[in-house]
Amino acid sequence: MNELQSVGNVIDSDSRYTIQRKAVGASGLEAEESDNTSFGIVLMPSDSLTITVDAWSIEKDKTIGLFGRENQTVNDMLLRLANGTNNCDTFAGDPLVVREAPDDGDLAAFAAAGVCPFGEIKYIENNYINLAMRTVEGVDVGIYYNFSTDWGDFDIRYNGTYLDKFEQEATGQFADLQAKKDSGEIPESIPLKGFGDLLNKDGIYDEKHNFRISWDKGDWGASLSGTQKGAFEQTSLGLKNGVPYIVDSVTHLDATVSYNFELSGNKARLRFAVKNLEDERAPTADRYYGFFADAHGDYGRNYYVDLRVSL
């Protein structure tokens, strides 16, 4: 499969070539079925401190999802390699991968690679299907603490989610691809997506932390809040010397200051807020606009003023 990378119209490295997914209604889908299990404890060491811990597990069968454009193109390559140069006038590879006609200038390169010529992908027919069992397990932790002082009232909150497992069972065509990956028929540098152990891959980070510290005194109030998302591997980039590309963890902070007053006899509140206080950019990833939009936003520091009046 590596030999094909020498063909100009197969590997487009200028980031301008995209692959579209085409789908129609999937009338044969079955309803998902799930079993949820959870166990929680609540601790109250004092009237002002509450600690919660919840361990949970979700097993979902017949999960509705996609085979995936990446997997479909890998399957197309396997079919083309297995076929070689036989019956090139009629051979079309994976019928769900619809391609343009090959460039005449690449015919010699395809012949040297030992496969029938093919062009760039126009689109991939990739409808939703019922997948096999998906198992997700984790622990949620909450800490809530409030107290009063001469300087005002304080409220501190923390919520953390820790994922221990996120696995999608491979069956059918998924299992066939994985078997070929395990045998070495699919090179290590070419990733498969959407099944197996998905934890810490492609936007599924194993930790997320949220906190908020708020203060009130009389008509004045202020808060500082933040969110931290863990790092994960971007599998579409494959491995380089056996090492995956890691999308870094990121922390965003927000701050607000508010003042309560009366406006024409009505209660009113004026709030000034700063979002993304430290102007933190999304971690770099090989996706549109340079970040992983399924997990991160890339808004820089921004501000807003909010006026609310109770009539």
The strand pair at 152-168 and 207-217 is best described as antiparallel
Cα separation values, 17 from 80, 245, 265, Å:
21, 21, 61
Q: Give the DSSP letter of residue 201.
A: B
Q: 306, 273 in Cβ contact below 8 A? A: yes
Q: How far apart are CA 267 and CA 79, in angstroms?
A: 70
Q: How far apart are CA 75 and CA 94, in angstroms?
A: 7
Which architecture does CATH list for 26-66+130-310?
Beta Barrel (2.40)
Cα separation values, 94 from 71, 102, 272, Å:
11, 16, 56
Orientation of helix 173-183 relative to helix 69-83, angle to 10°: 60
Place of tokens 């479909």: 72
Give the model confidence (pLDDT) of 93-147 as tens digits.
999 999 988 888 778 888 888 999 998 899 998 888 888 899 999 999 999 999 9
Q: 73, 118 in Cβ contact below 8 A? A: no
pLDDT attached to residue 97: 93
Structure tokens at 104: 């005449």
Cα separation values, 6 from 12, 72, 83, 113, 122, Å:
11, 21, 19, 9, 20
This prediction has a pTM of 0.79
| Positions of the chain with pLDDT under 50 | 1-15
Cα separation values, 199 from 149, 165, 218, 230, Å:
43, 6, 46, 11
| Domain range annotation of the chain | 26-66+130-310
Q: 43, 142 in Cβ contact below 8 A? A: no
Q: Give the DSSP letter of residue 12.
A: -
pLDDT attached to residue 230: 97
